Structure 1
Amino acid sequence: MPTRRTLLAASAAAATLAALPAMAQAPARSNPMPEELRRALERDPTAPVLGNPDGNITLTEFFDYNCPHCRTMLPLIQQLVSSDPQLRVVYREWPVFGPGSEFAARASLATLPMGRYWQMHAGLLSMQGRAEEATVMRIAREVGLDEAALREGMLADPVERHITNSHLLADHMGLMGTPSFLCGDEATFGAMTLAELRELVARGRQTMGV
């Protein structure tokens, strides 16, 4: 079962995101997510978006390509998006399982401006064994990517900013690990069923009044 809690903006790592307020004034909700934090989570131009980019609710997933539970969530997220035309899903690459995860995250993000992110993302989450340099590059070749161009893209500023911000945001909110899902003012940690994902999104809509 996933661990569920209401989001708290303050944490031991708050100094790293000093520009974000500890709380926002929102009398209708007892523990609201600050709007600055919501924008950082849901509207980061470096973050891949699946589903309806203009949808009325956003589900954010923090994940790692070497996280076994993240791999099991791939088809469920796809089903969720297919069944909810007003849902937008934001992916936050959060490599916490070592250098192989960092390499995979950089390689995947580098494909975003190439228009091949979803093929690379699905390939990495569906692969056998650990994501590391050799296996990541094997997936890249299967997807039809140029290795030299990919390696160059892995060093691009948007890739660096995305990964750095994922660590900062996760620390700021005290996330427990991957996968972590955020919707409305709520965060959950751990693998979820499709029904649980739908319930989380429904609560998010209720919280946001949509």
Structure 2
Amino acid sequence: MRLKTALLAAAFAVLAVPASADEFNPAQKAEIETMIRSYLLENPEVLEEAFGKLQDKRREAESAAQRQAVSENQNTLENSSRQAVIGNPEGDVTLVEFFDYNCGYCRHANSDLQKLIEENPNLRVVLKEFPVLGPPSVEAAQVSIAVNTVAPDRYAEFHDKLISSENRVDGAAALAIVDEMELDRAAIEKAMDADNVQTTIEEVYDLANSLNLTGTPSYVVAGNAYVGAVGFDTLQASINEATCGETSC
């Protein structure tokens, strides 16, 4: 606002105001430019204010584009045949998490996810394998997808064990949990070779790209996308929004 006032003051200060900027003569233009430069040098905080407004507009535009992408991809986000579902499969509120088994923030945030499930009996949680931290993460995701294919009723237990690991995990570490749980390793290894595994990972990569999700964990709930371990309170507020239309029910 101050910058606009300064510009107007500069224009009025130069004799009369022409109908358009193109009608300023060279002397008038030079005087206005000098006045504006002097004003900005004396009040540099105006530039900071203008830059802040620009950043706000960009964030608003990015957020709007992301919400639109969520809406356009909602069916794949929530109902893909290639996803794992924990919590209440028949729940009327769906939270989607994009995760990597080697992501420290994902491991830390798993306690938030478990608390959300415990405190929201109608919460349906969709887990998307999003291995972004190198080949070991891809290997672990391949085993995980195969477990969900062969023994979907044991997937939640498998996931909790693997995401709770304190060490970097890979295919071997994931298969060690398969053995620990006494699952059918031969069937799981066979499922790992099926096209479905790679197709599932590619589907998640495509979704993440469409939604501009740049890291793990990322969440989608109530039409909103969140990048990073935003915490229990933020996710609960969004669940409340989906449940009762308010951030606090």
Which one of the candidate residues 102, 112, 119 is aligned to 1:66? 102
Alignment of 1:12-31 (within 5 A): none
Counterparts in 2 of 1:201 and 1:33: CA distance versus 1, 3 Å: farther
Is the contact made by 1:58 and 1:87 (CA closer than 8 Å) also made in structure 2?
yes
Structure 1 distance, partners of 2:99, 2:223, is 19
- Give aligned pairs, total: 185
Structure 2 distance, partners of 1:193, 1:108, is 25
The aligned amino acid for 2:144 is S
Counterparts in 2 of 1:168 and 1:33: CA distance versus 1, 3 Å: closer
Q: State yes or no: 1:6 paired with 2:63.
A: yes
Is the contact made by 1:6 and 1:185 (CA closer than 8 Å) also made in structure 2?
no
Structure 2 distance, partners of 1:176, 1:34, is 15
Structure 2 distance, partners of 1:180, 1:195, is 15
Is the contact made by 1:186 and 1:204 (CA closer than 8 Å) also made in structure 2?
no
Q: State yes or no: 1:134 paired with 2:191.
A: no
- 1:24 corresponds to which residue? none
TM-score, normalization: structure 2?
0.68
Counterparts in 2 of 1:177 and 1:34: CA distance versus 1, 3 Å: closer
Which one of the candidate residues 128, 140, 148 is aligned to 2:186? 148
- 1:78 corresponds to which residue? 114
Is the contact made by 1:7 and 1:187 (CA closer than 8 Å) also made in structure 2?
no
The structure in which a higher percent of residues are helix is 2
Moved over 4 A (4+): 31-36
Query: Residue 134 of structure 1: CA displacement?
Result: 2.5
Query: Residue 76 of structure 1: CA displacement?
Result: 1.7
Query: Residue 81 of structure 1: CA displacement?
Result: 0.9
- 2:126 corresponds to which residue? 90
- 2:12 corresponds to which residue? none
Q: Which runs of 5+ in 1 are unaligned?
A: 10-30
Which one of the candidate residues 197, 200, 208 is aligned to 1:170? 208
Query: Residue 6 of structure 1: CA displacement?
Result: 3.2
- 2:236 corresponds to which residue? 198
Structure 2 distance, partners of 1:37, 1:57, is 16
- 2:33 corresponds to which residue? none
Instruction: Tell me the SS of whatever aligns to 2:168.
Output: coil
- 2:75 corresponds to which residue? 39
Which one of the candidate residues 90, 94, 101 is aligned to 2:137? 101
Instruction: Tell me the SS of whatever aligns to 1:144.
Output: coil
Structure 1 distance, partners of 2:133, 2:68, is 30
Q: Which runs of 5+ in 2 are unaligned?
A: 1-58
Question: What fraction of aligned residue pairs are identical, expressed as a percent?
Answer: 35
Query: Residue 128 of structure 1: CA displacement?
Result: 2.3
TM-score, normalization: structure 1?
0.79
Structure 2 distance, partners of 1:81, 1:157, is 32
Structure having greater relative contact order (Cα 8 Å, sep ≥ 6): 1
Query: Residue 36 of structure 1: CA displacement?
Result: 4.3
Q: State yes or no: 1:55 paired with 2:91.
A: yes
Counterparts in 2 of 1:71 and 1:32: CA distance versus 1, 3 Å: same
Instruction: Tell me the SS of whatever aligns to 1:116.
Output: helix
Say which one has the larger Rg.
2
